[in-house]
Amino acid sequence: MKNPPIVDKEKPGLVRKLSAWLPLIVWAAVLFGLSSIPGQEIPTFDVSFSDKIAHCGVYGVWGILSFRALRLTTRLRLGYAILLTALMALAYGVSDEIHQMFVPQRSPDPLDVMADVFGGTLGALAGSLWPGWARRAPR
C-alpha cells in the first residue's frame, strides 16, 4: 500500500502551512481555556496522580499536532522534529503554569510541566508512526 502524500501540492504555500498549524493553534486555545478554569470548579478524581495523567493526555494531543505541523511544513529530520516538539511542549507548559498564577485557586506546579513534556514527547513519538509523517516535507 502506497503511503499518502505528505502535503497537498495543489494548495498554495500559505494555505498549506495554515492547514498544518491551525489544529495546533486551536488546541493551544483549548488548553488556555482549560487553564483558565478556577481551581474550585475542576473535577477531582480518586486516582493517584490524576492531574499528571490529564496533563500527559492533553499534551499528548499537543505532541501529535505539533509533530504533524512540523513534518508537514519543515524539512527537519525525524529526531529533531521530536526534540522540537518536546521543547515546544516545555515552552507552552511553562507559559500555562505562569498563566495559572493569575487564576483563582490555581498555582504553578513544576511537576505539571514535566508531565506536559512527557506527554508531548509521547505524542510526537506516536505521530512519528503515522504513515507519511515520518518522511520530511518536500522542498
Distance separating alpha carbons of residues 27 and 117, to the nearest angstrom: 16
Output the pLDDT for position 134: 63
pLDDT of residue 106: 85
- Which pLDDT score, from 0 to 100, does residue 135 have? 64
**91 is a domain residue:** yes
Give domain status of residue 136, yes or no.
no
- The whole domain housing 118 covers 13-35+49-127
Residue 40: inside a domain, yes or no?
no
DSSP 38: -
Say how many domains are in the chain.
1
Render the burial of 76-102: b for 16+ CB within 10 Å, e for the rest: beeeebbebbbebbbebbbebbeebee
- How many angstroms separate the Cα of 88 from the Cα of each of 2, 8, 77? 31, 25, 16
- Contact between residue 8 and residue 73 where contact means Cβ atoms under 8 Å apart: no
- pLDDT means per 10 residues in the chain (139 residues)? 55 82 97 85 63 94 97 92 97 95 90 97 95 64
pLDDT reported for residue 41: 62
pLDDT given at position 9: 55
Grid cell digits, residue 64:
501529535
Global pTM?
A: 0.82
All three cell numbers of 82: 521530536
Confidence (pLDDT) at 42: 64
Residue 62 domain-assigned?
A: yes
pLDDT for 16: 83
Q: Is 115 helix (H, G, I), strand (E, B) or coil?
A: helix
